Structure 1
Amino acid sequence: MKTLRILCSAVLVALSLPAIASSAHASTYNPLETFAPFVYPQPANAFRTANGRPGPLFWQNRADYQIKATLDPVTRKLTGEEVITYTNHSPDDLDVLWLQVEQNRYLPDARGAFGDEAFPTEFTDGEHIASVAVEGADGTLQKADFVISDTRMQVRLPQALKAHDGALRLHISYSYTVPGEFGGRTDVNPTKNGDIFEIAQWYPRMCVYDDLRGWNTDPYLNNEFYLEYGDYDYSVTVPWNMIVVGSGELLNPQDVLTKTEIQRLDEARHSDRTVMIRSADEINDPHSRPKQSGTLTWHFRIQNARDAVFGASKAYIWDAARINLPDGQTALAESAYPIESAGNDAWGRATKYLKASTEYFSKQWFPYPYPTAINEAGSAGGMEYPGITFDAKEAKGNELHALIAHEIGHTWFPMIVGTDERRNAWMDEGFNTFIDVYEADAFHHGEYAPKRDVEYAPGGGNPADEIVKVLTDPDAPPLLTRADEIKEKYRHPVTYFKSAYGLILLREQIIGPERFDPAFRKYIQTWAYKHPSPSDFFRFMESETGEDLSWFWRGWYEHNWKLDLALQNVAPVDGDWHKGAAVTIANLDRLVMPATLEVVYNDGSKQDIRIPVETWMQHRSYVVRVAGNKPVTSATLDPQHVIPDIDRSNNSFTVK
């Protein structure tokens, strides 16, 4: 953000004197509380080390999927057959497997239905599991008993799956009815040229078994996901006139595209400008499809991913352009949207937005890992998956740019860095919102900068001032609150805004970009395709940046503490301005923060002095001796409003 840049003022701090003034009102600050040793939520051990890295005994299970599905747009029924190859790298024999069957979220008695702001009025008949079987070594199938509880399914294995690299193949047949727009993350929604199907949570998915909690079987209430990594090979059969866009690479373009469309895609792979693959004029032209009756099967593959989804419609306009990645690599940016969304003020620029944001994030943090990046327009609003996002078809201009950048930004959190979103959504939404801020600065010479949308600063103003609304709200939950416990009222202000602003403070005020950026890049690289915990992040950033940040983890993440710095007096040293100025500052509340002290002299010149957090390790108030030889007229703490001080009325002092 342009308003959140590090101050680069010249600093001169001379000797400091003992405090000589008390605060004007009672202070709640206790140094021994704020700077006490921090108790990390998760312990360090041989699996996860004290420096925040995977340990020598770290392990992670794997799930590879082969899926064949058929979508009937008339009945809205999806029928599927999947084979999951599940590999148990853990040190434990597993006698059961747990899977997520999240279409049960739309049943009237679903647990998640009772947590909404209002009880839902639309439902489906949930997920129907026709059969579950385990494949033997000789290829024969042995029926497995299973029990479904809400959005989870326990499969009881005929023989336990061995520890240390035991593997099995699980066969599941299933079906469900696609929910309408009430489905939220997965739905069918109308346009004038046909329905758009946004298909997610569309196959039984393995729950994560990890070293922190064993089986992670949190029900799907409304918060997002925690998934194992693997390769996905999936086929989707739809009527001949539908276009399908999905996670990963289309493996059979010769079967589902016309020669013209294949040529246009090849052109797009070599073009920095957007190339039309299927135009608005071709939507209702049967010759834009390779055949004019029956069905077509679209075959996709995505590797080293934690999910795969697709969109399908006969109403899509489809365009694409090349993404330029580090080391000469490329990928393909694509957008699929209805004619209602077309136009240069709307989705006509979507691929440009997608290309630019993916290139920026790849250069700044970690290379984009998938062959395609796809925007799909519908009513899901804004939802991320590996290689594809579902974005609002009504969005335009700045809103659309911010939406596309944010959703594709989720490639880095949680698609690459595999956060447990269902418990620690702040490590997903907040980290992603943080990288969005700088992408907005970078796009098209700052066309849409600085970023000030609802996901960052709820009131649209200075983040340092806006966050005060959260810090002073006694009901606002701390960041280390389980995601399902956070009310909708606080989801964006806390999970997105406070988490993102915490990283802004770390980068620009506490650590500095020269140390923060390499550490954050290394964090992404270290935990790529793994599952870090909050403690892993805390430990890693401390170890890499060389800072003890326990005071920040405690005040900003474990608690919702407030910051109130005060400037209480400015006087000449020993009554003589030629000896410098004695400036009395105080910390009145539990949070601490480094700050800039600006001193203004009688000739209009200024001097900035950096006040480190260590100032408050032993003191509630402190006298800073500022070298100088001329009278001071005023002094101000945090003159640029870059730290979240709850009371700015006591940040300035005028010398009488």
Structure 2
Amino acid sequence: MKLKTVLLSFSVFAYTGFTAQNIQNNPGSNHGNRFEQLGTILPTPNIYRTASGSPGHGYWQNKADYDITAYLDEDKRNLKGSETITYYNNSPDDLDYIWLQLDENEQSTVKNAGFQFPSTLPAASNDQQLKVTELPEKDNGYGVNLEKVTDASGNPLKYTVNKTMMRIDLPKVLKKGEKLVFKVDWNYNIPNRIKMGGRGGYENFAEDGNDLYTMTQWYPRMCVYSDFHGWQNHQFTGRGEFALVFGNFKVSMNVPADHIIGGTGECKNYDQVLTSDQMARYRKAESAAEPIEIVTLDEAKKAEKNHSKQRKTWNFEANDVRDFAWTSSRKFVWDGMRVTIPENNNKVMAMSFYPKEAYGLYRKYSTKAVAHTIKTYSEFTIPYPYPVAQSVEAANGMEYPMICFNFGRTEKDGTYSEGTKNGMIGVVIHEVGHNFFPMIINSDERQWSWMDEGLNTFTEYLTEEKWDNKFPSKRGPAWTITDYMKLPKDQLEPIMSNSENIIQFGPNAYSKPATGLNILRETIMGRELFDKAFKTYAKRWAFKHPEPADFFRTMEDASGEDLDWFWRGWFYGTDPVDIAIDKVTVAVPDLNTPPRDAKETKYKVEKPLQNDFEDISKIRNKADKNITFYVDKDKELQDFYYRYDRGQEKFDTEKEYTVKTEAGQPLDAKDKEKFKNLTGYQIDFVNKGGLVMPIILEFTFEDGTKLYDKSSAQIWRQNEQKVSKTFYFDKKIKSIQLDPMRETADIETSNNLWSSNGTDTQVSKFQLFKQKQGGGPVRGGANGKVNPMQAGGKKS
């Protein structure tokens, strides 16, 4: 869902297995924390979800099929519905009750979830905002009115409504492999979503007296019952979105005869509800490479003036979807064209519905943006599998299978700002992209907003980049997240937080996850490794219910990269990136260093290499009559040192010996020429922000040339606070720029630059000698010293 700029939140905590706490084993240390494995922070792998991140051999998920009839009463602005649900228990558990969602109750003053906002006296108000407090709260007439809940034979079922959730108590246990068929009849008053907010409702156009309906969360829907949560029956507060079950839908919608409907799936009776001209245009659009107007602008304008009292029924079907949404209005212009997905050769109808107020933007851009989105997402995830993809202009942003609602209207004279144009294209890409996350890769939005919004915003960014290289994407590039990450810690929460607890919802659920994935792709893993792993995740969890650990584990499993340090820091923590160049030490070699004199060192032979203290194991082993030591049993092993350790070898152990160190060799003329321009630079970095990242450097030399270097984040593994790196160049550095492309989300760039013109730059010298050929210590050798065996005059 695309959010508006101003976001409010709630402060109620919900916990479902994961923790947002960044557990560390050694918090007092300067190392070993940020690179610690996630370990028990992640759930234990099992037969349902493996350690590799893929579904296990015991994976299961339940299913729900819906057969729904709906009646839209435009005069009363009321929706009346009747549904038959067939629920399949594929779990290994016996169920004696089931849970359904009554999301429309959130619009009710007496049936809602009760997650209130804090409030204070305003500095100013208006008469529409200000009203006398009524206690107890009066019923505003909104919310679901349940008329009947029965089994397939019409027998009443016992049920309990708890705010936005309904529990149905079953007359007999629903066992593994069994299905339950039951019916629900209901109605509700459709809210004005422009005034009341929310995702579904109507918008009234006062100038022509017409409504535009977006029918979402409009029917009682099955909750998810899963291996990782049981029943996901957390209340709907308006923030955390939805956890839903896959199934097949048959939906009939009875509406005024002059309304045009767009909905999830395919309409099965266009020939009955469209005029012959409209049907001919639809047939033409089915093979068109450019959008064809199926309902024209002129037809839409004429329909606005004539409110038909006749009615028509539109029949839709959709398979393997988790939800069903629809839109209805006489104001709609409708265009469409055919799109072929190369990866699976799927022929998709890309379509758009929009009122005349949006014609100047949507006629030109919407359907083409739909087509571009499903094709680009198919490249990065899985091939788009559905027959339809639709965009509806409805002054908001919200997503459902095969249909989404977006904004983007022109001024009355048909002009528009660039911001409106780019915002409209961006929201179409975002909401159409939600077909993949979470409509197909079906994560639990009620618990983990980032798993749909964050992953989708990242893929939206990739798609915007392929739409226009100059597209002003605000979510994805690392530099765009820095203002958020600069905020005080008491205004932040980890990405791994429940939806209801997030204060800065847009940055936390959308921008920060998307940015993190882009950093992984561009800076840490590289495009090839990342893209393969990301596609693997999408393929593994298409039409299934993934959890965060499934994503984390798959990204590592498919890439061969240990990313626990990144998940720990970016997803479980709130530390920002602020790596600074603390100091640069400059030194040149002394090419005329005089030879070092040979050095003599006095020493005595080594004493027996026995432990200074005889531990309890040695004492007990020696006293144990059942133990015979191998060297005591095999006389061939009793050499000089066996006797020396036991005081059996007698020689002068106090005698002093002398060892000589080789004299240093001066550089010859050839070496001096080789190193005459050499300069060494030791760069000291300090981790001020706490979050580790690769160190990326741009060296600019005095001759104007540039070189680049990147050290992986693992350079911090032995000291997460300070680290140094030394470089030697045969030309002088003019400046050193840390993170020159601003790709690590560093929040403070003023400490990322060093210049040789700085007043604190001093050049020192270091001695440089010629290495003696064949010199250097040999592991296991005596390094010129007399050993005890030599001192004792023995060879064995």
Normalising by structure 1, report the TM-score. Answer: 0.89
From 423, 440, 446, the counterpart of 1:416: 440
Equivalent pair of 1:346/1:397 in contact (CA under 8 Å): no
CA 1:33–1:589 in structure 2 vs 1: closer, same or farther (change >3 Å)?
Answer: farther
Residue by residue over 1:176-228, the C-alpha shift from the partner in whole angstroms, topping out at 9 and shown as x without a partner, is 11111224200111124421111011110000000111001011101211101
CA 1:349–1:650 in structure 2 vs 1: closer, same or farther (change >3 Å)?
Answer: closer
Partner residue, 2:168: 155
Partner residue, 1:16: none
Deviation of 1:397 (Å): 1.5
1:388-403 aligned within 5 A? 388-392=403-407, 394=409, 396-403=420-427
Deviation of 1:30 (Å): 2.6
Q: Give SS of 2:151's match.
A: strand
Partner Cα separation in structure 1 for residue 436 and residue 212 of structure 2: 27
The answer to whether 1:607 aligns with 2:702 is no
Further displaced range: 502-511 or 347-356: 347-356
Amino acid at match of 2:34: T
Partner residue, 2:488: 473
Amino acid at match of 2:545: H
Residue by residue over 1:613-653, the C-alpha shift from the partner in whole angstroms, topping out at 9 and shown as x without a partner, is 11111024333232422222322211221112233232222
- Unpaired runs of 5+ residues, structure 2, are 1-26, 121-128, 132-138, 411-419, 591-674, 762-796
Deviation of 1:285 (Å): 4.5
Corresponding pairs, count = 611
Deviation of 1:600 (Å): 2.5
The answer to whether 1:628 aligns with 2:652 is no
Equivalent pair of 2:255/2:312 in contact (CA under 8 Å): yes
The answer to whether 1:307 aligns with 2:323 is yes
The answer to whether 1:143 aligns with 2:156 is yes
1:422-433 aligned within 5 A? 422-433=446-457
Residue by residue over 1:320-369, the C-alpha shift from the partner in whole angstroms, topping out at 9 and shown as x without a partner, is 111221243211111111112112x4554221222222222223322222
What is the RMSD computed on CA atoms of the aligned residues?
A: 2.4
From 393, 399, 414, the counterpart of 1:384: 399
Partner Cα separation in structure 2 for residue 81 and residue 552 of structure 1: 49
Partner residue, 1:42: 43
From 548, 556, 573, the counterpart of 1:559: 573
Partner Cα separation in structure 2 for residue 470 and residue 491 of structure 1: 13
Partner Cα separation in structure 1 for residue 714 and residue 142 of structure 2: 59
Residue by residue over 1:553-593, the C-alpha shift from the partner in whole angstroms, topping out at 9 and shown as x without a partner, is 11111111122222221423656752643333333342101
Partner residue, 1:100: 101
Partner residue, 1:534: 548
From 531, 556, 562, the counterpart of 1:548: 562
Amino acid at match of 1:405: I
Partner Cα separation in structure 1 for residue 685 and residue 551 of structure 2: 33
1:148-187 aligned within 5 A? 148-163=161-176, 165-181=177-193, 182-187=196-201
Partner Cα separation in structure 2 for residue 570 and residue 635 of structure 1: 12
Further displaced range: 506-515 or 125-134: 125-134
Equivalent pair of 2:282/2:294 in contact (CA under 8 Å): yes
Further displaced range: 242-251 or 611-620: 611-620
Partner Cα separation in structure 2 for residue 124 and residue 322 of structure 1: 43
Residue by residue over 1:383-416, the C-alpha shift from the partner in whole angstroms, topping out at 9 and shown as x without a partner, is 0000101112537411110110010011111101
Residue by residue over 1:507-529, the C-alpha shift from the partner in whole angstroms, topping out at 9 and shown as x without a partner, is 11111101000110111111001
Normalising by structure 2, report the TM-score. Answer: 0.73
Tell me which structure has the larger Cα radius of gyration. 2
Q: Give SS of 2:105's match.
A: helix
Q: Give SS of 1:103's match.
A: helix
Partner residue, 1:72: 73
Amino acid at match of 2:550: D
Q: Give SS of 1:426's match.
A: helix
Partner residue, 1:349: 365
Equivalent pair of 1:569/1:584 in contact (CA under 8 Å): yes
Partner residue, 1:647: 748
Partner Cα separation in structure 2 for residue 407 and residue 28 of structure 1: 45
Deviation of 1:531 (Å): 0.9
1:184-333 aligned within 5 A? 184-191=198-205, 192-193=207-208, 194-222=210-238, 223-283=240-300, 285=302, 294-326=310-342, 327-333=344-350
The answer to whether 1:81 aligns with 2:82 is yes
Amino acid at match of 2:425: H
Equivalent pair of 1:28/1:590 in contact (CA under 8 Å): no
Further displaced range: 120-129 or 419-428: 120-129
CA 1:393–1:75 in structure 2 vs 1: closer, same or farther (change >3 Å)?
Answer: farther
Partner Cα separation in structure 2 for residue 606 and residue 315 of structure 1: 59
Partner residue, 2:532: 518
Equivalent pair of 1:437/1:450 in contact (CA under 8 Å): no
Partner Cα separation in structure 2 for residue 65 and residue 502 of structure 1: 38
Partner Cα separation in structure 2 for residue 221 and residue 41 of structure 1: 27
Partner residue, 2:687: 587
Partner Cα separation in structure 2 for residue 264 and residue 78 of structure 1: 31
Further displaced range: 534-543 or 612-621: 612-621
Partner Cα separation in structure 2 for residue 175 and residue 328 of structure 1: 41
Partner residue, 2:584: 569
Residue by residue over 1:457-497, the C-alpha shift from the partner in whole angstroms, topping out at 9 and shown as x without a partner, is 7xxxx64254243244312111001001112xx01111111
Partner residue, 1:598: 698
Partner Cα separation in structure 2 for residue 124 and residue 595 of structure 1: 59
Partner Cα separation in structure 2 for residue 79 and residue 295 of structure 1: 15
Partner Cα separation in structure 2 for residue 428 and residue 614 of structure 1: 30
Deviation of 1:450 (Å): 3.6
Equivalent pair of 1:325/1:363 in contact (CA under 8 Å): no
Partner residue, 2:382: 366
Amino acid at match of 1:262: M
Equivalent pair of 1:66/1:84 in contact (CA under 8 Å): yes
Partner residue, 1:31: 31
CA 1:52–1:298 in structure 2 vs 1: closer, same or farther (change >3 Å)?
Answer: same
1:119-134 aligned within 5 A? 123-134=140-151
Further displaced range: 425-434 or 619-628: 619-628
Residue by residue over 1:34-70, the C-alpha shift from the partner in whole angstroms, topping out at 9 and shown as x without a partner, is 1122143432111111111111111111111110111
CA 1:374–1:483 in structure 2 vs 1: closer, same or farther (change >3 Å)?
Answer: same
Partner Cα separation in structure 1 for residue 301 and residue 575 of structure 2: 58
Deviation of 1:293 (Å): 5.4
Q: Give SS of 2:542's match.
A: coil
Partner Cα separation in structure 2 for residue 330 and residue 95 of structure 1: 43
Partner residue, 2:499: 483
Q: Give SS of 1:66's match.
A: strand
Q: Which has the higher contact order (CA 8 A, sep 6+)?
A: 1
